[in-house]
A = this chain, B = another copy of it.
Amino acid sequence: MVTKFDRELDQRAANYQPLTPLHFLNRAEDVYPHRIAIIHGDRSYTWKEYAGRCSKLAGALIDHGIERGDTVAILAPNTPAMLEAQFGVPMAGAVLNCINIRLDAAAVGFILRHSETRLLFVDQQFAEVARAAIAVLGEPITVVDITDPEVAGSRPVGRIEYESFLAGAPDTPDIRLPLSEWDAIALNYTSGTTGNPKGVVYHHRGAYLNALGQLVNAELSGDVPVYLWTLPLFHCNGWCYAWALAAVGATQICLRKVSGAAIYDAIANHDVTHFCCAPTVLSFLIESVPPSWVPPARPIRVLSGGASPPPAVFRRLIELGFRVQHVYGMTEMHGVATICQSQEAWQALPEEEHLVHLTRQGVRTVVMNEMMVADPNTLSPVSRDGSSMGEILLRGNLAMKGYFKNPSATEEAFAGGWYHTGDLAVVHADGYIEIKDRSKDIIISGGENISSVEVEDVLYEHPAVAGAAVVAVPDPRWGEVPCAIVELKADMAGDINASEIISFCRARLPGFKAPQHVIFDSLARTATGKLQKFKLRESALQHLVGNGAIGPDSGTTE
């Protein structure tokens, strides 16, 4: 609709530029040239040096024939080269594909082929898997080897070494800024709990906005933030933090391998103020407290994604001087969609209740436009009663362009104009959401929904249980019933039987929620540590059909 405020008031170069996080690097170079941008072991780079290296990287890629819209991949942990790729690859107009270093050669080979990668950077620690993946790919590909004094030498995969690659570039190459803010900036393959990995396409607009949002989420605007790279950059480009940190000229500490000791060392040596991580890292922190540890005067800000840690973990971390906030997101939303925004009123609650409040997924971030918990078909939102379950639906400018070369998956994900997370949650009276389950993992038994998470929580209380997963298996009477796959602690194997486990659950759950079947086995996990429920369900079925517990015509619905 054209109004009088549109006449002779068009967009032009002076008042419109595509949103892109690349601007943040340009500004950091101008505003904080001498501030340290990256520390990696004995090496460090100022923002001017970092920006210069990103620029050289872009120039070298262009010199090697990389065109706009080409895919450039990297297989590396959180090192300077990985941080340089976050800017240097898009500065060549290319699309950055960070590959999960925990994947096997077959998965890496699949990704290299599907993404149409034209050039691959390989950290020498991952030379072997890269070599095997290229064999799987079966086509020649340009490989640049990243060497690092921190890693023992290995036979190079390609014919160019990273520093020589940079050195060969012109000093001031012609950077390719995006022509549109809808241009792709990155490609991130999901870990594939339900089949082949899907390539999530990021856009400059979403990357820019989420980077700004992270400054607010993590309160990154004060003084000089010192950020520790505990979150892998191959997860959602580190939730867009490499871009966000440039916006405030933060100092970044690289970390090739995350451990409790490495984190406490970095805090001691570099006065770390912020980091992001998975909940496992929080356990490291609790297990590895150095004897000389004194909680810092200003708590260290931690954003923790993945499953929410239990209240006891929050309590201990607060004592230790960490301020942890739970965030929730997924690759498809540039990493983070919600945050458990703390409220001043919570301070007045009894401690236990306060801690429970912290474990929720919370509310949408400042740059996330819309979220609802609703029936995914009717799009009718659930009541804010803390018990009605619905699927978490999201929409807005943080959502991906879609899945690369997979229009049917894109359409399915965006059905009805909302992104379907596949996560089931309740909404509390204060509007904060709490995840109860993955929608694929819900068990519908006699018309009642059973949350597999709830049953798993009970199983974890059993002293002999090291790990547990609950899946749906078919049942002639109830439709589906819960089946528990239980991993026993090493010294307990053989001492516990299925009926003991079932009784334990019956004593603590409504009867229909207790598992009908128990299988003792190890738990299949993805490269990122997620339970692969579809695999567990499949092997549980085979097992139960094999021992006659259920009929032979039962199949997976997957």
| A residues whose Cβ falls under 8 Å from a Cβ of B | 1, 3-17, 19, 23-24, 27, 30-35, 68-69, 95, 116, 179, 182-184, 187, 201, 206, 212, 215-216, 219-224, 247-248, 341, 343-345, 363-364, 366-367, 369-370, 395-397, 399-402, 404-405, 407, 410, 414, 417-419, 431
- List 17 A-B pairs, Cβ < 8 Å: A3-B68, A4-B69, A8-B410, A9-B404, A9-B410, A11-B182, A13-B395, A14-B417, A15-B402, A15-B414, A17-B397, A23-B369, A31-B341, A33-B431, A34-B345, A220-B221, A224-B344
Minimum CB–CB distance from A156 to chain B (whole Å) comes to 29
Q: Which residues of B contact A402 (CB under 8 A)?
A: 8-9, 15
Q: Which residue of B lies closest to A11 (CB)?
A: B182
Q: Which residue of B lies closest to A199 (CB)?
A: B5
A341 to B33, CA, bound (A): 13
In the A-B complex, the 9 residue pairs with the closest CB atoms = A3-B69, A5-B184, A15-B399, A9-B401, A13-B417, A14-B414, A8-B407, A219-B221, A9-B402
Q: Which residue of B lies closest to A407 (CB)?
A: B8
Would A247 and B5 be within 8 Å (CB), given that A30-B431, A395-B15 are in contact? no
Copies in the complex: 2
Query: B11, B224, B366: which contacts A27 (Cβ < 8 A)?
Result: B366
Q: Is the CB of B399 within 8 A of A14?
A: yes
Minimum CB–CB distance from A215 to chain B (whole Å) comes to 6
Q: Is the CB of A247 within 8 A of B216?
A: yes
A248 to B213, CA, bound (A): 11
Minimum CB–CB distance from A431 to chain B (whole Å) comes to 5
Q: Is the CB of B69 within 8 A of A12?
A: no
A366 to B187, CA, bound (A): 26
Q: Is the CB of B219 within 8 A of A31?
A: no
A467 to B19, CA, bound (A): 45
Minimum CB–CB distance from A205 to chain B (whole Å) comes to 8
Minimum CB–CB distance from A270 to chain B (whole Å) comes to 14
Q: Which residues of B contact A341 (CB under 8 A)?
A: 31
Q: Is the CB of A5 within 8 A of B344?
A: no
Minimum CB–CB distance from A89 to chain B (whole Å) comes to 13
Q: Which residues of B contact A7 (CB under 8 A)?
A: 405
A328 to B14, CA, bound (A): 18
Q: Which residue of B lies closest to A211 (CB)?
A: B366
Would A69 and B410 be within 8 Å (CB), given that A34-B345, A364-B27, A399-B15 are in contact? no
Q: Which residue of B lies closest to A184 (CB)?
A: B5
Q: Which residues of B contact A179 (CB under 8 A)?
A: 1
A216 to B436, CA, bound (A): 35
Q: From A12, A31, A95, name the one whose CB has the most chain B CB atoms within 10 angstroms.
A: A31
Q: Is the CB of A116 within 8 A of B219?
A: no
Would A5 and B366 be within 8 Å (CB), given that A30-B431, A397-B19 are in contact? no
